[in-house]
Amino acid sequence: MLTVCFIEDNENIAFASARLIDELRAAPGGALLLGNMPLVRRADIIVLSPSSCGRKTELPPSCGALLSPGGYGADRIKTDSVVSYGMSARDSLTYSSVKRGICTVAVMRELETFSGAVVERQEIPALIPEGVSEEGALAVFGCLLLLGAPPEKLEFIPRP
């Protein structure tokens, strides 16, 4: 079972991720989702929200993958990989287009999932989950991809 630690300020990233992980069966071996609980010894994935980066955030000592805006926090934690998200061309996940809740997620670098599969560079059309900001939605999509959701299943995710 994979452990995912979400560090956020009421941005609905953990909630949207949990709902979609279940719908897409993204974590076949199961996933334990922890909200704002940085005291775990090691998380498989740590998801930092956009707002958590502006404050002094306590992080677990290590993780398998850090998913954060612009790679924030990578210098403060021992991690196997950093997946950055945001609106910069340097980010691993960004948007090539966003309009009225419909977006195209651009995977700018190959990502290795926890099952060992590789997500190639590509563009994925999707809907921004309800109640989640555009930047927060990139964290949701990144979490799903790292957990092994096939990119084609992210295409046009239905709203609840």
- The CB density around residue 151, as the number of other CB atoms within 10 Å, is 18
Q: Beta strand 102-107 with 111-112: parallel, antiparallel or unpaired?
A: unpaired
Identify the CA nearest to 133 among candidates 103, 156, 92: 103
Residue 127 lies in a domain: yes
Residue 13 lies in a domain: yes
Residue 144 lies in a domain: yes
> What average pLDDT does the structure give for the chain?
85
Residue 146 lies in a domain: yes
* pLDDT confidence tier of residue 117, bands split at 50, 70 and 90: very high
pLDDT at 100 over 60: yes
Place of tokens 């956009």: 50
Tally of structural domains, the chain: 1
SS3 content of the chain, % helix, strand, coil (to 5): 25, 35, 40
Residue 132's CATH number: 3.40.1190.10
What average pLDDT does the segment 90-105 reach?
Answer: 93
Q: The whole model's pTM is what?
A: 0.89
Residue 160 lies in a domain: no
CA distance 73 to 96: 25
What average pLDDT does the segment 146-157 reach?
Answer: 82
**Domain limits for position 91:** 2-154
Residue 26 lies in a domain: yes
Strands (E), the chain: 2-7, 31-35, 42-48, 62-69, 78-85, 93-99, 102-107, 111-112, 118-119, 122-127
Residue 69 lies in a domain: yes
**CA distance to 20, 68, 79, 82, 157, per residue, from 71 (Å):** 24, 5, 11, 6, 26
Six-digit token string for 93: 């996940």
Residue 64 lies in a domain: yes
Place of tokens 């700018």: 108
Q: Strand, helix or coil at 87? A: coil
Q: What is the pLDDT of residues 53-92, one digit of tens each?
A: 867 777 778 899 999 999 888 888 899 999 999 999 899 9
159 neighbors 100 (Cβ within 8 angstroms): no
